[in-house]
């Protein structure tokens, strides 16, 4: 019998909540974990939420202890601003090439005091805040980002565009700004890979009749999350574009469902959560929810729905929705269950977008030697067996990169992938 020495270290791709959970679990069994993250921060999408259904628990309070544990864990090597370039080998012996972009901030010296932001002369839209606020060319995307160290956006930084600006470096008391940092190409040898790259929300512009991008006060779900967030662009005030408080709002479910051909499983619940957001900040606000089928599976979700229903929300089962501007207000035309045309006007519209795969999922699948399914999510080997197993031994897929799901299900998959690795490798 041939036996080859297998490498026990693990590569986890994506430092959202699923990737963090996988890494922490593996580290507890004394595995060395390399956790690579494309952005400059950990926490993924979950840290964009102020609260999570159905217990309305503060999301940051839920995720931050895990992030902190991650940063202090000696078995976990966190590489931010990093992407996989190449994978070779097989289960037990993979060689992985990582491209780690320079942050231009020395993480050892930086204490995260943010003194470098203020003097930076470049003003840009903050993508983390769905472009509802500004950032500088040196920035952390939001207060409380972990690791708490800024990065330089070289595309816009004056110094990287031919000007001799040193404003941030001069402001730093810790000599943490290092313009000479270089991108690194790191080679790792590992035994198995967990892919936890998450999802993006459906682009609402693909449905022109919803008016997103054309009509003021038509917001996406993530824009609305940030409006409600206490560390967000309005410090948690739900405001219309003119600064006024809305008196009425409509929440449109299933945005992108028809385009994508699947139910994203979480939108009904998070729409109901938005009801909670609206009524807690704006007592007396009139809310209408436009839905097709309520999908609230599981033992705890209907209870939440019934609580929301008692708050006086209008639940309208509708089809053929069309949103137009009507003066300062927004008109929503729809066809009701009886087939009759109907309409209402509101101050604000929230579009609850479907969960779709990341733009680069296909590219990553090629690098990893796994396949994607007809929807663009990573494909499990066999729907009859474990959903975290791919056609390539040693490469496991977890969380929304495998398909739309809620946090609980993502965390279960993280545990399942770890179980698979620890029991077979």
Partner 1 sequence: MNRKIGVYICECGPNIAEKIDIDKVIEAVTSLNDIVTVERYKLLCSEAGKNYLTEQIKKHSLTHLVVAACSPRDHQLTFMEVCENAKINPYLFQLANIREQCAWVTDNKEEATKKAIRLTKAAIARVRCHSPLEKKEIESNPDILIIGGGIAGIEASLQLAHSNRKIYLVEKNSFLGGLIKNFEKKYPEMQPCSASILQKIETIKKISNIKIFTDSEVQEILGFFGNFEVKVKNKKEKDIESFNVGAVVFATGSSLFDINKNPQYGYGKFDNVLTSLEFEQMNLSKKIVLKNNKTPKSVAIIYCVGRTDKGYCSEICCMYSIKFVRYLKDNIPDIKIVNFYSDLCIPGKSHQKFYEQTQGENIDFIRAENIDITKKGEQLNISYDDETNRKKNCIVDMVILSPALEPSVDAAKLAEFTGVPLGDGDFFAEEHEKLNPVSTSTQGVFIAGCAQGPKSISDTIIQAEAVTGKILSSLIPGKKIEPEVKVSQISESFCIGCKTCLDICSYGAITFDEMNKISVVNEVICRGCGNCVAACPSGAITLKHFTFNQIYEELKEAVQ
Q: Which of residues 254-313 bind partner 1 (CB under 8 A)?
A: 257, 261-265, 293-303, 306
Q: How far is the CB of 236 from partner 1 (least distance, A)?
A: 18
Binding mask 215-254 for partner 1 (x = CB under 8 A): ----------------------------------------
Residue with tokens 């993508």: 127
Subset of 66-95 contacting partner 1 (CB under 8 A): 66, 68, 72
Which pair of structure tokens corresponds to residue 209? 């009749």
Query: Is 144 an interacting residue with respect to partner 1 (CB under 8 A)?
Result: no
Residue 118: Cβ within 10 Å count: 10
Binding mask 319-338 for partner 1 (x = CB under 8 A): ------------------xx
Instruction: Choose, by CB under 8 A, the member of 8, 58, 113, 344 that binds partner 1.
Output: 113
Point out which residues pair with 95 in neighbouring strands.
88, 189
For CA atoms 233, 234, 238, 240, the dihedral sign is: negative
Q: How far is the CB of 413 from partner 1 (least distance, A)?
A: 6
Query: Is 413 an interacting residue with respect to partner 1 (CB under 8 A)?
Result: yes
Question: Judged by CB, which is closer to partner 1: 99, or 415?
Answer: 415
- The set of residues, in sequence order, having a beta carbon less than 8 Å from that of 69 and lying 6+ positions away, is 24
Q: How far is the CB of 182 from partner 1 (least distance, A)?
A: 23
- Gap between the Cα atoms of 309 and 312, Å rounded: 6
* Strand pairing category for 10-13 and 33-36: parallel
Subset of 149-208 contacting partner 1 (CB under 8 A): 173-174
Instruction: Choose, by CB under 8 A, the member of 388, 395, 397, 401 that binds partner 1.
Output: 388
CA angle 292, 44, 193 (to 5 degrees): 105
Subset of 2-21 contacting partner 1 (CB under 8 A): 21
Residue 231: Cβ within 10 Å count: 15
**# binding residues, partner 1 (CB under 8 A):** 71
Q: How far is the CB of 154 from partner 1 (least distance, A)?
A: 25
Residue 256 near residue 248, CB atoms below 8 Å: no
Phi, psi of 126 (to 5 degrees): -90, 110
């Amino acid at each position: 019998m041939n036996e080859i020495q297998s490498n026990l270290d693990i590569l986890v791709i994506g430092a959202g909540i699923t990737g963090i959970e996988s890494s922490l679990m593996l580290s507890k069994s004394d595995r060395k974990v390399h956790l690579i993250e494309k952005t400059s921060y950990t926490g993924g999408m979950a840290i964009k939420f102020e609260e999570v259904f159905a217990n309305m628990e503060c999301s940051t309070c839920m995720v931050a202890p895990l992030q902190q544990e991650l940063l202090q864990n000696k078995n976990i090597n966190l590489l931010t601003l990093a992407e996989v370039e190449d994978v070779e080998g097989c289960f037990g012996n993979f060689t992985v090439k990582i491209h780690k972009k320079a942050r231009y901030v020395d993480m050892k010296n930086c204490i995260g005091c943010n003194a470098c932001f203020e003097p930076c002369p470049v003003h840009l839209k903050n993508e983390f805040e769905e472009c509802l606020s500004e950032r500088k060319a040196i920035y952390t995307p939001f207060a409380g980002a972990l690791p708490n160290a800024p990065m330089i956006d070289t595309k816009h930084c004056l110094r990287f565009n031919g000007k001799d600006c040193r404003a941030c470096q001069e402001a730093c008391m810790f000599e943490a700004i290092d313009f000479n940092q270089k991108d690194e190409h790191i080679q790792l040898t590992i035994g198995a890979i967990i892919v936890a790259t998450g999802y993006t929300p459906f682009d609402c512009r693909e449905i022109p009749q919803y008016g997103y991008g054309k009509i003021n006060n038509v917001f996406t779900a993530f824009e609305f999350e940030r409006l409600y967030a206490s560390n967000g662009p309005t410090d948690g005030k739900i405001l219309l574009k003119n600064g006024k408080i809305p008196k009425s709002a409509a929440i449109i479910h299933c945005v992108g469902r028809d385009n994508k051909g699947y139910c994203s499983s979480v939108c009904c619940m998070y729409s109901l959560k938005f009801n909670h957001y609206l009524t807690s900040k704006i007592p007396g606000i009139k809310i209408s929810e436009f839905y097709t089928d309520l999908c609230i599976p599981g033992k705890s979700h209907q209870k939440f729905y019934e609580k929301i229903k008692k708050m006086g929300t209008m639940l309208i089962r509708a089809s053929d929705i069309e949103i137009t501007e009507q003066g300062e207000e927004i008109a929503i035309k729809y066809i009701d269950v009886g087939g009759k045309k109907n309409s209402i006007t509101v101050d604000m519209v929230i579009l609850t977008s479907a969960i779709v795969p990341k733009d680069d999922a296909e590219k990553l699948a090629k690098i990893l030697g796994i396949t994607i399914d007809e929807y663009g999510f990573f494909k499990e080997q066999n729907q009859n067996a474990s959903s975290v197993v791919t056609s390539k031994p040693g490469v496991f897929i977890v969380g929304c990169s495998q398909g739309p799901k809620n946090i609980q299900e993502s965390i279960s998959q993280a545990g399942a992938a770890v179980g698979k690795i620890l029991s077979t490798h």
